[in-house]
Amino acid sequence: MFRQIATFVPATLLFDKHPVELAMTLEEVWNRRVALTAPSGHPDNRSPLDGMPPWMPFPLPDPLPGSDRAGTFRWDHLIYAYMVENTRVVEVMRRVVLEMAHGEKLGTPTAEAQRWLRNTEELFFKDGAPFFVTSLTSHLRPDARAMRRNAYQRMFGMELNHGGDDGQPVAYVKAEASNREFVATFEEFLREIWVGMTYVNASTTANPTDDSKIAALAEKLSDMLRSRRQNGNLAREEFAAVAAMSWFHLTLEFESPIVKALRVESTGLEQTLFKIAERVGLPAHGLAKHFFEIADPLSRLLIQIEMGTYNAAAAVPALYTRVTPAAGTPENALRTIITHWTAITGRDVKSRKVAAA
């Protein structure tokens, strides 16, 4: 989300903004959902809830595309937040803010870094101001980390690969209704797509690609994801998680004030994360590169699956047929997803399932 906003306003200005301006920008993003007439929970209209009313003060100049609050905005799928959080970036950045707030072990922050620290603490490590869409922590759910874990468990049946800063598991409420079959279904989906990619050019052998099966798996995934989103359920949790992860992602991707202040500039954002992790004495996940790489394409694919685009077998060839230009196509995204999913999970979705005789 912040990464998209940074394409319209300089990231340096974004990091320099007052926290209330950033919070109001998020409200405006929420209010500019793609189609407010779409059913609640649909990727074009995640929730029936309103953000701040239009007469509230808004940052000027408008940091969002479009003028007069006319442009629409889409944000990433919850899977994006799940993948980025698995890098352990939140815990590492939490340690940075903690060290900077309590001493000078990491040096004295520059003026720009102080603004970044203030924004980060205000927006993501503090109970939000009342009435904001992203202010989710309360007396009932005081820990934002536990809240995100609850959302991941409900939507994907998956847990994060790490615990808290102290290495202990983070306690959270596990919901009874969760998509426990998401991983198995998604891997079967990827496996069938890979068969399609393998045989798309075949001319001398029988083609085992099964478009109908892929469509059935896509529909199953669509149904289970949309079931968790009925009437806009989990929308605010997704929005808050995506906003937080995109802030930290942008911090690493861009030579942000804190990266400069810590003098950890590197080639590759995972290398920057590793350097920061080393400075604060809290290791990041060794597969961070794969988590960062898979986050974007997987987010786009699941948004489209939730739209029900591939529930029809006739649309399925788009998933495995290469077209020109390849950039920005589902086939290209799926190649990236298959590669990094295999690396992350250790399960090779390129191999066929062995059936018992």
Partner 1 sequence: MSRPSPTVAAPESAAAASSSFTGTTAPELAALLHSVLLSVRNSPPGAAAVQPLTAEAEAAIGQFRAIDAVLTVATVFAPAPVTTP
> Footprint of partner 1 on this chain (CB under 8 A)?
3-4, 6-13, 73-76, 200-203, 253-254, 296, 299-301, 303-304, 307, 309-310, 312, 314-319, 321, 323, 328-330, 333
| 3-state class (DSSP) for residue 42 | strand
**Among residues 299, 221, 177, 238, which one has the least CA distance to residue 46?**
238
Closer CB to partner 1, 300 or 335, in the complex: 300
Q: Are 179 and 269 in contact (CB under 8 A)?
A: no
Closer CB to partner 1, 187 or 306, in the complex: 306
The phi, psi pair for 198, rounded to 5°, reads: -70, -40
User: Other CB atoms closer than 10 Å to residue 151's CB: what's the count?
Assistant: 23
Q: How far is the CB of 331 from partner 1 (least distance, A)?
A: 8
The phi, psi pair for 106, rounded to 5°, reads: -95, 10
Element (H, E) at 140: none
Element (H, E) at 326: none
| 3-state class (DSSP) for residue 286 | coil
Q: How far is the CB of 122 from partner 1 (least distance, A)?
A: 23
Closer CB to partner 1, 3 or 279, in the complex: 3
Classify each residue of 37-51 as buried b or exposed e, where b means 16 or more C-beta atoms within 10 Å of its C-beta. Answer: eeebbbbbbbbeeeb
Q: How far is the CB of 264 from partner 1 (least distance, A)?
A: 19
Q: Is the peptide bond before 59 cis (omega within 30 degrees of 0)?
A: no
Q: How many CA atoms lie within 13 A of 256 on its CB side?
A: 29
Q: How far is the CB of 250 from partner 1 (least distance, A)?
A: 8
Cβ partners under 8 Å of residue 193, min gap 6: 214, 319, 320, 334, 338
Q: How far is the CB of 282 from partner 1 (least distance, A)?
A: 26
Closer CB to partner 1, 3 or 229, in the complex: 3
Beta bridge partners of 45: 42
The first and second tokens of residue 290, run together, are 């794969």
Q: How far is the CB of 76 from partner 1 (least distance, A)?
A: 6
Residue 196 burial (10 A CB sphere; 0-12, 13-18, 19+): buried
Q: Are 165 and 94 in contact (CB under 8 A)?
A: yes
Closer CB to partner 1, 307 or 343, in the complex: 307
Q: How far is the CB of 200 from partner 1 (least distance, A)?
A: 6
Q: How far is the CB of 48 from partner 1 (least distance, A)?
A: 22
Q: How far is the CB of 246 from partner 1 (least distance, A)?
A: 9
Closer CB to partner 1, 184 or 202, in the complex: 202
User: Other CB atoms closer than 10 Å to residue 326's CB: what's the count?
Assistant: 11
Closer CB to partner 1, 12 or 230, in the complex: 12
Closer CB to partner 1, 87 or 150, in the complex: 87
User: Other CB atoms closer than 10 Å to residue 88's CB: what's the count?
Assistant: 24
Closer CB to partner 1, 150 or 299, in the complex: 299
| 3-state class (DSSP) for residue 324 | coil
